Amino acid sequence: MPESNPTLTTYEPVDLEIKKADFLVVNCGDLRFPKAYREVIDNLGGYFDTITVPGASKGIVDYEEPLEYMDVYLGLHGYDTVHIMDHIECGKFGPVDDEQKAHSESIKAAREKIQKAFPQLSVIGHLLGKDGELAVEL
């Protein structure tokens, strides 16, 4: 008899009938922040899709692929809100003098780009700090 794989885990059953997402999350892939992203997402509640883009808002501004992925998920799951989750000390941004100002400007530019392509979507920006979420001005 084959040995069982010790890395297999169980989890709460998946409801395969759910086809609509409440929102889409765009976050950076920085290895320091997954737990922080998850806590913010869990507090939002609901079903969601995710896209990981280096720099989150800066990646949306700099590349076209994030909009292509948004379009795919929009067609599949019909979300109506995008949450952009930036974090402090992001390598994609490089050194910045004022984290909140730099990220506010980038999230605002990303929001404008998203809403130009998908005017029906609302966009909410987040900036994750060391100990919690920081305010961004949009």
Q: DSSP of 15-67, one letter per residue? A: -TT----SEEEEE---TT-HHHHHHHHHHH-S-EEEEE-TTTHHHHHH-SHHH
Name the band, by pLDDT with cuts 50, 70 and 90, for residue 59.
very high
Task: Say if 11 falls within a structural domain.
Answer: no
The number of domains in the chain is 1
Q: What is the pLDDT of residues 15-35, one digit of tens each?
A: 999 999 999 999 999 999 999
In a domain, 113, yes or no: no
Task: Assess if residue 8 is contained within a domain.
Answer: no
Tell me whether residue 71 is in a domain: yes
The reply to whether 17 falls in a domain is no
What integer pLDDT is reported at residue 126 of this predicted model?
Answer: 97
Structural domain including 50 reads 23-94+121-134
